[in-house]
Amino acid sequence: MRGTELTVLRSLAHQYRSIASASTEIINLQSIMNLPKGTEHFLTDIHGEYEQFNHVLKNGSGSVRRKIEEEFGNTISNRDKKSLATLVYYPEEKLEIVRHEEENLEDWYKITLHRLVQLIKRVSSKYTRSKVRKALPKDFAYVIEELITEKAEIQDKEAYYNEIIHTIIRIDRAPQFIVALCNLIQTLVIDHLHIVGDIYDRGPSPHLIMDKLCDYHSVDIQWGNHDISWMGAACGQMACICNVIRIAASYGCLSTIEDGYGINLLPLATFALETYGNDPCDVFSIKYNTDYNTKDLTLDQKMHKAIAIMQFKLEGQTILRNPEFEMEDRRLLHKIDFEKGTVVVEGKEYPMLDMSFPTINKENPYELSEGESLVMRRLQQAFMRCEKLQKHVRFLYAKGGMYKVYNGNLLYHGCVPVEEDGSFAKVKIFEEEYSGRGLYDILEYYARKGYYSKDPVERRRGQDILWYIWNGPGSPVYGKNKMTTFERYFIAEKETHEECKNSYYKLYEDVDFVNGILREFDLNEETAHIVNGHVPVEQIHGESPIKCGGKLLVIDGGFSKAYQKKTGIAGYTLVCNSWGMRLAAHEPFESTEAAILKETDIVSDSIIVENFKKRMMVSDTDVGKELGDMVKYLEELLEAYREGKLIESL
């Protein structure tokens, strides 16, 4: 045995101090590897739609209802199954209704508790007792463990278990116990959650989604370009700060920033009123929903314009100090002819829809005015000092990345940038060119520097890279040649609004092309899948989320209400359990209140993507490989003890 191996075993011996303890752990790990793999749940492009996200999370994209069907079959009515599912999703709210409507509450409690215990036995059957124990709520852990390990055939204990339930009801703890059981079912039905990008923007409540994710038992996140923009804002990158405020203003969601994060927008509001008080700001319309308070419309339009002009200036500065971004065509302020009221875009002159620019210096159009500089400094401080935002962004960094390889599948938000012939596009990042997986890795490297680096030069570079990832032509999570924000505001001609998608989106039905991406990320092209979002799948026009015969899955189907008319549905989610993979297509979500009162669920269609040839076990997963390595080391430790190379500590 080599010295390094002996050093590793000595370290392991501190935890497993005897033949007996090492043997027990080998048996335990070997047993775990032969359990079915846990269920993975994939969501993407949530865009601030908290109520729908929360419901889909609670129902596991239909996983809870399937477990109810498996457990109860025809033994209870469909009405009772719907009622039980709603109770699992919203236990506190459902209990409140039951307390007012049920004539014999004690009988309802008794029946419901027995059903919930049965359901927990079903959903916990593929986990070790140790894993289930860790998930148990502290207040009821002992009682729940006793109930779910019940052996009905043991006559002597049947009265014991019935008495537990009877006592829970008698001492008026049934409501709290039911809530604990329902939350446990939600936890156990999904083993791991994947968020494939774009938590932020458009919808009103990304902060609530982040709160939920921070408390979730097992999650990873692949950054979307909208998430990246907020990460840049939290770092203090001024163009990103402008961008998140501008988008919030344009969707009538400034309350996300003001109320959700407690960031003071009064300096911006005051500046906007002073600067654009007599300007109708018609170009800067607000896309609002029924929750929007229209009394704020005039002010919000002025704030919208004020922050947009600052954004165009600050983006121009960012491009100027980073010529390697090759985004000079996005600097358009100096191409405005203030006398003629036109702007030149790609060599062609277009009339401008708005020419009221009191803060633009014609000689130096990208320079912030004194008032704008003051507003931006205050906004920068507010974003960087916002405790809640910083907590959420640290979570995005801790649990997230540009891509994820997980259980033999590849997850990323947008695309792998390629040329028209399918070869990986070379993108210059500062002094060197990168492509394929290397491009993802270098962008993530600098994205982390933008938040964590103590070197001011590297930190500034990283922050500018965050802005580039948001909208740069070589960004994998953006995936288009340019972002035509300026043109969409100021030019009527639609030809200037076009944003060309990367060739990836023309080629992703080609097997050789997709296999090439899988090889780039060291994945098995026979069994691996790519899961990505970003570009909404227009089911309404017959488009399928399943590409390349199931090798690639685009699961953005319109979680955001802004896209639901375009897609025809309210989002796709993907579920991968031990038997296979299936897509759920969701109906638009009416409201949480309707889901509780009408007991409506929102899974409208389920599509089988793949049935595995054999049931996947823990041993087939990434965790299983780690456990297998651990077993190997423990067996070597066992041999070292038996051969006297290491001495047991008894």
Decide if pLDDT at 569 tops 60.
Answer: no
Q: Of residues 152 and 573, which shows the higher confidence score?
A: 573
Across residues 378-403, what is the average pLDDT? Answer: 98
- The pLDDT confidence band at residue 101, using thresholds 50, 70 and 90, is confident
Across residues 530-544, what is the average pLDDT? Answer: 77
Cα distance between residue 48 and residue 52, in whole Å = 9
**CA distances (Å), origin 544, targets 42, 449, 549:** 17, 38, 11
Residues found in the chain:
650
Cα distance between residue 304 and residue 251, in whole Å = 10
Q: Of residues 17 and 160, which shows the higher confidence score?
A: 17
Q: Enumerate residues 6+ apart whose C-beta is below 8 A from 169.
A: 106, 109, 110, 113
pLDDT at 607: 80
- The pLDDT confidence band at residue 570, using thresholds 50, 70 and 90, is low
- Name the residue among 167, 206, 158, 179 with its Cα closest to residue 54: 206
The answer to whether the CB of 119 falls within 8 A of the CB of 111 is no
pLDDT at 157: 64
- Name the residue among 620, 142, 613 with its Cα closest to residue 409: 620
pLDDT at 601: 67
pLDDT at 511: 96
Decide if pLDDT at 567 tops 70.
Answer: no
Question: Distance of alpha carbon 202 from its chain centroid, rounded?
Answer: 15
Cα distance between residue 605 and residue 607, in whole Å = 7
Cα distance between residue 478 and residue 425, in whole Å = 14
Q: What is the mean pLDDT of the chain?
A: 91
pLDDT at 590: 66
- Name the residue among 577, 570, 542 with its Cα closest to residue 556: 570
Q: Enumerate residues 6+ apart whose C-beta is below 8 A from 471.
A: 225, 478, 482, 483
Percent of the chain with pLDDT over 70: 93
3-state secondary structure 297-329: HHHHHHHHHHHHHHHHHHHHHHHHHCHHHCCHH
Angle (CA) 240-242-244 rounded to 5° is 70
What are the tens digits of pLDDT across the range 230-287? 999 999 999 999 999 999 999 999 999 999 999 999 999 999 999 999 999 999 999 8
pLDDT at 557: 61
Do the bridges between strand 552-554 and strand 530-532 make them parallel or antiparallel, or are there none, so unpaired? parallel
Across residues 93-118, what is the average pLDDT? Answer: 90
What's the token pair of residue 576?
A: 């991968």
- Name the residue among 163, 222, 212 with its Cα closest to residue 186: 212
CA atoms within a 13 Å half-sphere pointing along the CA-CB vector of 127: 23
Percent of the chain with pLDDT over 90: 71
Cα distance between residue 85 and residue 79, in whole Å = 10
pLDDT at 141: 83
What are the tens digits of pLDDT across the range 523-535? 999 999 999 988 7
**CA distances (Å), origin 234, targets 28, 156, 378, 477, 574:** 44, 61, 13, 19, 30
Give burial (CB, 10 Å; 0-12/13-18/19+) of 522.
exposed
Reduce the DSSP state of residue 606 to 3 states and report it: strand
* Site of tokens 């990505």: 532
- The pLDDT confidence band at residue 571, using thresholds 50, 70 and 90, is confident
- The pLDDT confidence band at residue 586, using thresholds 50, 70 and 90, is confident
Q: Enumerate residues 6+ apart whose C-beta is below 8 A from 387.
A: none
- The pLDDT confidence band at residue 42, using thresholds 50, 70 and 90, is very high
- The pLDDT confidence band at residue 606, using thresholds 50, 70 and 90, is confident
The answer to whether the CB of 471 falls within 8 A of the CB of 225 is yes
pLDDT at 598: 67
Decide if pLDDT at 580 tops 60.
Answer: yes
- The pLDDT confidence band at residue 136, using thresholds 50, 70 and 90, is confident
Decide if pLDDT at 335 tops 90.
Answer: yes
* Site of tokens 């994209």: 61
Cα distance between residue 518 and residue 175, in whole Å = 50
Angle (CA) 45-50-51 rounded to 5° is 120
What's the token pair of residue 184?
A: 């446990």
Cα distance between residue 409 and residue 609, in whole Å = 14
Range from 202-216, 265-279, 284-298 carrying the lowest mean pLDDT: 284-298
pTM tops 0.85: yes
pLDDT at 155: 58
Reduce the DSSP state of residue 401 to 3 states and report it: strand
Cα distance between residue 350 and residue 575, in whole Å = 49
- Enumerate the β-bridge partners of residue 584: 573, 606
* Site of tokens 């008026």: 172
What's the token pair of residue 346?
A: 């790609």
- Enumerate the β-bridge partners of residue 344: 349
Cα distance between residue 226 and residue 478, in whole Å = 9
- The pLDDT confidence band at residue 294, using thresholds 50, 70 and 90, is confident
